[in-house]
Structures are given as C-alpha cells and as structure tokens.
Amino acid sequence: MTSYDFDLFVIGAGSGGVRAGRLAAELGAKVAIAEEYRVGGTCVIRGCVPKKLLVYGSRYAGAFADARNFGWSCDDLRFDWPTLIGNVRREVDRLNEVYTRTLEKAGVELLLTRAVLEDKNTVRVANSDTPIRAKTVLIATGGHPMVPKLPGAEHFITSNECFQLEQLPESIVIAGAGYIGMEFASIFAGLGVKVTVLHRGDQILRNFDADLRDGLAEAMDKRGIAIRINTDIARIEKEAGGFRVHCKNGDSVQVGLVLAATGRLPNTMTVGLQNAGVELGWNGHIVVDEFSRSSVENIYAVGDVTDRVNLTPVAIHEATAFAETVFNDMATPVDHAMIPTAVFSDPEIGTVGLSEEAAREMGHVVDIYKIAFRPLKYTVAGRDEKMLMKLVVDMESDKVLGCHVLGPDAAEIVQMAAIALKMGATKAQFDATMALHPSAGEELVTLRHKWEAPTPMAGSDAAA
Ligand SMILES: Cc1cc2nc3c(=O)[nH]c(=O)nc-3n(C[C@H](O)[C@H](O)[C@H](O)COP(=O)(O)OP(=O)(O)OC[C@H]3O[C@@H](n4cnc5c(N)ncnc54)[C@H](O)[C@@H]3O)c2cc1C
C-alpha cells in the first residue's frame, strides 16, 4: 500500500490555502502548507487589507473639507506618509501573526519555503533534499501583477511596491483603469499626489455597468484626476527627478512614479504543474471543475490561480467547499452567481449581479430604475457630487438582476442588497420593504419610476 507523509499538501498560504489547510486539519487530516513569501497572501500582505487602510487614510482629505460647513476649523492640516504606511505595515504584521497562529493551532505543519510538484503526489520544497509525499495536493498559489512589455518597462512599479514606498511622489502615472488602478488613483489623489491615468480602452472599469463607469469617471475628473482614455503607453524614459511616459499618440507626461495596474496573471509557471500533467487554460490558469478538482484526480486548485472570480471571499468559499468535499464527505460545488464586489475608489462603487448591458446581452428584457441625487451630508458640506443607485429588473419575472451603487458607503449598502438578490428578490419585494430613514440606502426601496431614455430632440442624429 502507498504511504503518504500527509493527507493534504497545500501550496500557498493566502486566503484560499490558509482556509483549506485549517479546515482539513480540523476535520482530522494530516496537513502541511508551504508559503514562499508571507502567510496571509495577497489579501492580507499586499492587497485588500493594506489597500483599504490606505483608502481610509486618503479619505480624510475630503472629510476635513466637508467638516468646515459643519462648524469645524481644520487649519494647519498636514499629512505624513511615513506615519500612515508605518501603521499599515504594523497591522499587516499583526495579521500575518494571527494567520500563522491559526494554522499552528489547527495542527497544520507550516513550511516557510517555495514548493514545487515533482509528480502528482510528490512535492519538493526548497532547502530540502527529501521529497514529500501527499495523497491530495491543493494549489492555492494566487496570482501576480502583469507588467506590459514595452521599452522602459523596468521603471514600472506594481501594486506590490505601493506598500513599500518610503515617500510619496509628487505625481504619478497609472497605466490601466481596472479596479486596482482606480483605487490607487483615488488613494494617491486623496494624499495630494497629482494623478494621471492612461488607459487604452474607451472607458474605465471594463465589464462594470455603464452608468457606474461614466459616473465614477466624471467624479474623478471633478476631483482633479486626469483620466486619458484610448491612450496607450509607447515607452518610459528615466529623466532627472523622475520619468517621462511617452504615449503612442505622441503625447508625453513627466512624473515621479509610474504604476502598472494592467491586470494579474495566475502563479502557475513555477509550481511544477507540468510534471503532474495538470491542464492549464488560455492565460495559464488551472482548469478545474465545480468541486475545484483539476484534470489530475488528486490535485485541486482554489482562488486566483483558477482565474474564476479573483476576490478574497471567493477564494475562501472555494477552499471551504474543497475541504467539505474531500475531507468531510460532503460534495459541495461552488456557486459563483451573484457575487457582490466593490471598487474602493472615491467615490466608491458597490455592485452585484448583472450590469444593464450584460442583462440585455443575455436576452433579458429589462426595466431600469435609477436615481442620481446629492446625499444629505453633501448638502450642508457643499460638495457638488451625486450618488447613483440603479436596479436592473427582469421585466417578465420582476426579479432584480443587478444592483449598482456609486457613492458613500456603496460597498456596505450592496453587501446587504446582495442577500436579497441571491434569494431571488423581486422589485415588488424591494418596494414592499420599509425604508430606513434618513439614509442613502433607502433609495433602493423607494425607486418607483421606470427610467426611460430621454426622447431625442427633433432634428438630432439620434432622432433620425
Ligand atoms: C492591490 C489588490 C487589492 C485587492 N483588493 C481586494 C478587495 O478589496 N477585495 C477582494 O475581495 N479582493 C481583493 N483583491 C484580490 C485578493 O487579494 C485575491 O483574490 C486573494 O488574495 C486570492 O487569494 P488566493 O488564496 O487565491 O491567493 P493569494 O492570497 O495570492 O495567496 C497565494 C500565496 O501563494 C504563495 N505562493 C505562490 N507560489 C508558491 C510556491 N510555489 N510555493 C509556496 N508558496 C507559493 C504566494 O506567496 C501567496 O502568499 C486585491 C488584490 C490586489 C492585488
């Protein structure tokens, strides 16, 4: 009979790996986990958590400005980056310890080293000649930032390095307008950095609802963030005091720092997957079934490395389902429908379900309910900024297919709306829900009138 050193070997101690390793151990499995950088992975070390703390830090600028009309004097304001980033790093260190202790407490053997597959049951870790045999292997190696290939690409920093900056630049170019680009644009702008976003597409935030994309682009523009769409970078040159970013259209921008926020790729190239015959998809992700099983029967994969929906709660959910399926004898498929998500830009976005465009593309005939209004707080603060709320409703079934919010606390509002959408709530049920007043969220249950596209004026192109 084949003997194994471990029932489960997990490669990668990020959101997915830590959850799967801990649960499997709690269910009685003998588990080892290898981590080549820091326990906690992207989310804790250089993603969601430190990013959100920087978001909080950057939003004080707006809060101080709003405070004046509420009677507060906020003179002599100063911002100190080393204080903020130092405190963020301390919190990351604390969480790193919490995650490490969690694994230890569950009895998981932690190997702080790189691990590579030699075959489907054998793992080799750096600094050891002894191969490790495991019955089941879980790949939870996450992803890494992709940097565009162009002359001077070595001058790019990525989101990883944003958390290592010792000082803030006076100006920055951000290449890419996905959610990470938009979040860092807002963080840097809030902290007083002059931000230019260069984006090759025709609007920010591809795949989000068009009203959210247009609304956020307009709000960021009002806040002085220059967003140049249809603009591709040709090359980057180092010059005294910074860099010159040359665009393909002949323009150039001089800045202190250049950040690539142009997408992420799965970490599959250096894990030895080819030695085990694991099938990879078009962008190098591990192809898995609904139980996160790869093409090799004892090798599973969860999280960003599978490139399904690259978010922390999804990685955790997939890991939980994996542990239930393999170690608790309860086949648990993962349902990827109705995943709420946020863009922690300023203003922020919360969204769940289908965009209007996606709903129509899928063949739904939809009613649109939407409202743009000035939140109560901004009336006294004197802020010229609107909040947007939108529901996409299936005309036939009355089900709410999508809920989209742009403005303060959008993420918090949409997290709750996501429960209703997941349960298949109808517009009539939204309407039957009592409003909580005065709040912004109450607008979602008081949207009475269907939105109709403005009638084109006689003689205009659209009327033709
Ligand atoms: C800047 C940024 C902001 C984000 N913000 C959000 C957000 O607000 N909300 C949200 O839900 N998601 C956010 N995400 C996405 C989220 O961080 C990821 O979806 C999540 O961390 C994925 O978890 P994972 O377990 O798949 O991988 P990871 O957390 O990336 O963990 C993978 C781990 O594997 C390790 N590893 C890789 N190869 C090996 C090897 N061969 N041997 C040993 N160890 C290895 C890595 O060092 C890493 O620690 C953000 C991501 C970024 C980059």
In this prediction, residue 459 carries a pLDDT of 46
The most distant pair of C-alpha atoms in the chain lies apart, rounded to whole Å, by: 83
> How sure is the predictor about 127, in pLDDT bands with cuts at 50, 70 and 90?
confident
400-406 and 349-353 strand pairing:
antiparallel
> What Cα–Cα distance (Å) separates residue 26 from each residue in 10, 96, 106?
15, 20, 6
> How sure is the predictor about 457, in pLDDT bands with cuts at 50, 70 and 90?
low
In this prediction, residue 72 carries a pLDDT of 96
Question: Choosing from 155, 246, 404, 437, which is the catalytic residue?
Answer: 437
- Our mutation pick for probing the ligand 1 site, out of 9, 35, 36, 42, counting the most ligand atoms within 8 A of Cβ, is 42
Residue 455 confidence (pLDDT) above 70: no
> What Cα–Cα distance (Å) separates residue 119 from each residue in 10, 271, 273?
14, 11, 8
Tokens 């009002």 locate to 222
pTM for the model stands at 0.96
Residue 2 confidence (pLDDT) above 90: no
> Considering only CA atoms, which residue is closest to atom 47 of ligand 1?
37
Helix (H) or strand (E) holding 221: helix 210-222
Helix (H) or strand (E) holding 326: helix 312-327
Residue 203 confidence (pLDDT) above 70: yes
Residue 46 confidence (pLDDT) above 70: yes
Is the C-beta atom of 315 inside 6 A of ligand 1? Answer: yes
> How sure is the predictor about 462, in pLDDT bands with cuts at 50, 70 and 90?
very low
> How sure is the predictor about 461, in pLDDT bands with cuts at 50, 70 and 90?
very low
Give the E-state strand segments of 261-318 in sequence order. Answer: 264-266, 299-301
Exposed/middle/buried for 256, CB within 10 Å: 0-12, 13-18, 19+?
middle
3-class SS of residue 411: helix
Residue 460 confidence (pLDDT) above 80: no
- Our mutation pick for probing the ligand 1 site, out of 51, 109, 111, 141, counting the most ligand atoms within 8 A of Cβ, is 141
> How sure is the predictor about 452, in pLDDT bands with cuts at 50, 70 and 90?
confident
Is the C-beta atom of 19 inside 6 A of ligand 1? Answer: no
Instruction: Report, as an integer, the average pLDDT of 65-69.
Output: 96
Q: Which two tokens stand for residue 247?
A: 């665009």
Is the C-beta atom of 29 inside 6 A of ligand 1? Answer: no
Q: 133 - beta bridge partners?
A: 122
- Transcribe 377-396 into DSSP letters: HHHHHT----EEEEEEEETT
> Which DSSP symbol is given to 70?
G
Instruction: Report, as an integer, the average pLDDT of 144-158.
Output: 98
Q: Note the residue count of the chain.
A: 464
